[in-house]
Structure 1
Amino acid sequence: MAASSDSVVASYVPVAGYDSYLEAQKAVDRLSDERFPVQEVAIVGSGLKLMEKVLGRMTALKAAGLGALSGAWFGLLVGLFFAIFAVRVSLLALIVWGLIWGAIAGAVFGFISHLFTGGHRDFVASSQLIADRYEVLVAPAHAERARELLQIRPI
């Protein structure tokens, strides 16, 4: 897959560079506002880093609670599915029982899963890929027009 994305990047030319993704996104939005063929545009980040923001400590109780929430959603979906095909059964009862049993199963699974980690990675985190620099690339046939549009009203 890297080879195909590298060939796409190689066939485009840089028209502008920015320190943040938001600035690059605004540049492409500006091109779109000017009726530029944005399907000929790419935003490429370089100097990629993985940032993981630690959100809090994971405890067995928290794992059970998060498991119960996700299990409840799944149980709700199962209950709704059964309710569609149910004959002579209370639809509300099927949905509620699906929600309850899903929450119970999810809580048990979350609790047991946390115990099996053996104390490793006892925290909750969110990951994000960030870049040092973002370039707006355009197909060569449209590069000059893109440069003109971005220089008329700089960001």
Structure 2
Amino acid sequence: MSTPGMRPQPQLPTLHLDFPMSLGTFSEYAAAQRTVDYLSDHHFPVEQCMIVGTDLKQIERITGRLNWGRVLVGGLASGAWLGAFVGLIFTLFSNENGLNVIISTIFLGAIFGAFWAAIGYAATRGRRDFTSVSQVVATRYEVLVEHKSVQQARELLGQMNGDAAPPHEAAPSGPQRTYSEAQQSSQYGQQAPAGSNPQTYHGAQSPQYGQPGTSEPQQPEPPRYGQRSPESDGN
């Protein structure tokens, strides 16, 4: 039941595939992108593909040293650009000399920018005397395809690489699992390690109904009255 006057929210595309299967793992995004692009060039339904980045990490690249001189110069430059933009807008709606307006706004903007830059740098108290840029990247990327088209995709990639095996680049060493392996849960709600057999990982299974199970050796029953024992028969 919809409320009058309320517009329905646009539905975003769902990042989900029906029974996805791994087509390959790559250490760089460019390699995964090149794989999907090759499939698209050969008229493969790439809407059934998905690239999943796993094992996220943050990289911070230091770009330079920071001191009071650089802080003030950067504040002056940014404030001057802002002042020039404001001055240009004022000249459109003012009958005064446009050059004088632009020069005054640049001067005021430079002072304002240097003031705020000095306040921001003083607040750090010398604990961050450097500039940097940061980015969140994935350690490896996995290409997934729906199960109904995975064989077709592998055949196309076999033509790309000259063999029948899907591309698998070297992934980082260590007990890491791919996205498809993480989706497969083993019995009793636990997950088996990557590359292991879930049936052998959880140890021996209990015998099913109608199948003989393994039991400890039983001691022979004592002979009944009137029967000979096996020891006496051997003698």
TM-score relative to the length of structure 2 = 0.53
Choose the corresponding residue for 1:25, options 29, 33, 49.
33
Rg comparison, structure with higher value: 2
- 1:27-66 paired onto structure 2 within 5 Å: 27-66=35-74
- Once the two structures are overlaid, the 10-residue window that deviates more, 127-136 or 7-16, is 7-16
Match of residue 132 from structure 1:
139
Shift of 1:50: 0.9
What residue is the counterpart of 1:150 in the other structure? 157
- Give the unaligned 5+ runs of structure 2: 1-13, 162-166, 168-235
Amino acid in the other structure paired with 1:28:
V
- Structure number having the greater helix percentage: 1
Aligned-pair distance for 1:81?
Answer: 2.8
Match of 2:120 among 96, 109, 113: 113
Q: Which runs of 5+ in 1 are unaligned?
A: 1-6
Give the alignment of 1:7-18 within 5 angstroms: 8=15, 11=18, 12-18=20-26
Secondary structure at 1:121's aligned position in 2?
coil
User: Residues 121 and 34 (structure 1 numbering): CA distance in 2 closer, same or farther, change over 3 Å?
Assistant: same
Larger relative contact order (Cα-Cα within 8 Å, sequence gap ≥ 6) = 1
CA distance in 2: counterparts of 1:10 and 1:32, whole angstroms? 17
Q: What is the DSSP-based 3-state SS (H/G/I as helix, E as strand, rest coil) of the residue aligned with 1:52?
A: strand
SS of the aligned residue for 2:118 comes to: helix
Structure number having the greater strand percentage: 1
Give the letter aligned to residue 136 of structure 2.
L
Q: CA RMSD in A?
A: 2.8
TM-score, normalised on structure 1? 0.74
Q: How many pairs are equivalent? A: 148
What SS class does the counterpart of residue 45 from structure 1 fall into?
A: strand
Shift of 1:74: 2.5
Give the whole-Å Cα distance in 1 for the aligned partners of 2:69 and 2:157: 53
